[in-house]
Structure 1
Amino acid sequence: MKTFAEFKAIYSLPLSELILRAAEVHKQNRGHSDIQRCALLSIKTGGCPEDCKYCSQSAHYDTPVDRQPLLTVAEVREKAEQAKATGASRFCMGAAWRAPKDGPEFDRVLEMVKEVRKLDMEACVTLGMLSEDQARRLKEAGLTAYNHNLDTSRRHYPEIISTRTYDDRLETLKAVSKAGISVCSGGIVGMGESEDDRLSMLVDLANLETPPESVPINCLMPQRGTPLEMAPSVDSLEIVRLIATARIAFPTSRVRLSAGRDRMNKEMQVLCFLAGADSVFYGDKLLTASNPSASDDAALFRAMGLPEPGALTT
């Protein structure tokens, strides 16, 4: 059983010692040249009944995001082919649902998963809360991973979301694990939480029966019209500390440097990679938020001396 005190002790190490320790864990388990590129596509946009204060797709807020119906299987396959051509090895699909309903649209998502897998790519979806039967059907379709973030700590969670409980999220993670699908779960920093809240979230993830295969660390991208649109940015070194702590806590998992990279300079990103981040989302957009361009990322990876996309491991 992992404890908060353990995580706090690691997080509070002198920064150079923390980064070096995380870098050594990373080197032993994966190596610094193994950075996975993932692509993320919104397959159904806007109109979500949840009230997550950070999300421009919530129907509770007046935001610039237009509602768009579920994409066709052909549209998704085309996007996946484009992503693979630019070096992505995992294709992630997100739908703005509280929970998917059984029927034609869920069946269409199953077909999307099958098409992505035919391209020899990993397939990940995030659809909201899942039943055990839905998780089983996704597994049968070939789903590699399911993303369902805890977002923040149990203590801070009610300040961010009221339409779904923290335990609802944990139940979905249990259903996913039971079906034999890898769990992708992390959080968002910059929503008014404390550093201890961030660590508490990592502790909860570490104490899952099956720890996450990947842990996304997202920096809040304040969206116009949401309650958090004026939220201040987080100190960059706090992000580095969190990534390093996550790397030590989850030595064999992907630690994904997710939303917010377009606000980081290249030196900051390199420091995050040194601290143990080994996955990024590749492409100009993350659902509805901006992301560094593929050309900017290619230049960054060349400067870091990383292999060309086709040579990257998955």
Structure 2
Amino acid sequence: MNTENTLRHDWSKEELLAIYNKPLLNLIYEAATIHRNWHKADEIQISTLLSVKTGGCPEDCSYCGQAARYHTDIKVQALLPTETVLAHAQKAKDNGSSRFCMAAAWREVRDNKDFDRIIDMVKGVNNLGLEVCCTLGMLTESQAIRLQEAGLYAYNHNLDTSEDYYDEIISTRKFDNRINTINHVRKAGITVCSGGIIGLGETNEDRISMLRTLANMEKHPESVPINALARVKGTPLEDNPKVDIWEMVRMIATARIAMPASMVRLSAGRIEMTEVEQAWCFMAGANSIFTGERETLLVTPNPGVSEDMQMLQNLGLKPMVNHKETATCSSH
């Protein structure tokens, strides 16, 4: 395995754009080679994502069916009982997941009873021996510390798109708010999960700019989700064209080359991909997927667990062993 000092944090936009635009098969070959130097090529991390509080969000993210201002079919659901969440986590673990992610449709975390309950959920999932991840919106430094003390392993906060294009997609907060939250998470000693979405109407330059922001962070995000826009009826982007699979593959390959040690997650949009298309994504360096019964970040349909396990078997891949199971987990 390679070491930290071979990682770069000084990519130029031109360099990354040149990688993204390489002849496709050359690009995939390069990314696959780097992937094999840094990771076990036959292992895929299985993560399960549960929406613990759904809909009714005051933000206006153009892609999201959970924004209160859009009329979508997504039903508003208050914060789930802790027992329900832990039962889902246990089921996810039984199905081969090593990471359990809890998503709440909030603009930001508030210091109230709901946050206290999230802390209890984090402790409970951690005690099951799963890597526990949350995505709860913006966080303060002290809230990040509370989550870390409860045993939170990772925090997801996607950049979504480039700094230049950000205002076209969201007006209720700024790109800098995203960066501040990531910095708070990093400072608290929690691993960072941050990526973006393609298919929002952005240019290739925007995509590269977003990857460059991530790749030039002092420490690369440990996990980089690459999402294809899940077009939700009732949102401003419902009529955007489906993302071309080769654009997805180029994004994954470029992320893999720029951030070789990170987990690159094939995230939203997988439901619209064939098994063959997903195989190209794995070849290009994706080594993590979200699975579960209809439990993705935007509460959009997701392939079922049995389908995914069959796909991995067909491709000669296997679920990554949970490192928390093999190491003695320090109690929090």
Shared fold per TM-score greater than 0.5: yes
Q: Deviations over 1:146-176 (max 9, x none)?
A: 0000000111111100001000100000000
Q: Deviations over 1:174-216 (max 9, x none)?
A: 0000101111000011110111111110000112222100000
What aligned pairs does 1:1-314 form with structure 2 within 5 A after superposition?
1-285=10-294, 286-287=296-297, 288-307=299-318, 309=319, 312=321, 314=323
Q: Tell me, what secondary structure is at the counterpart of 1:39?
A: strand
Shift of 1:12: 1.6
Consecutive unaligned residues in structure 2, runs of 5 or more: 1-9, 324-332
Aligned counterparts of 1:306 and 1:194: Cα–Cα separation in 2: 33
Instruction: Return the letter of the residue paired with 1:277.
Output: A
State the identity as a percent: 54
Instruction: Return the letter of the residue paired with 2:83.
Output: A
Q: Tell me, what secondary structure is at the counterpart of 2:69?
A: coil
Instruction: Return the letter of the residue paired with 2:310.
Output: A
Aligned residues: 312
Q: Deviations over 1:265-305 (max 9, x none)?
A: 11110000000000000112214111111111111111011
Q: Deviations over 1:101-146 (max 9, x none)?
A: 1021101101100111111100000000000000000000010000
Asked whether the 8 Å contact 2:130–2:322 carries over to 1, the reply is no
Q: Deviations over 1:214-248 (max 9, x none)?
A: 00000111111110111101221111011000001
Asked whether the 8 Å contact 1:35–1:312 carries over to 2, the reply is no
Shift of 1:313: 5.0
Consecutive unaligned residues in structure 1, runs of 5 or more: none
Q: Tell me, what secondary structure is at the counterpart of 1:211?
A: coil
TM-score if structure 1 supplies the norm length? 0.97
Shift of 1:31: 2.0
Q: Tell me, what secondary structure is at the counterpart of 1:23?
A: helix
CA RMSD of aligned residues (A): 1.0
Shifted more, 201-210 versus 51-60: the winner is: 201-210
Asked whether the 8 Å contact 1:262–1:290 carries over to 2, the reply is yes
Shifted more, 283-292 versus 36-45: the winner is: 283-292
Q: Tell me, what secondary structure is at the counterpart of 1:101?
A: coil
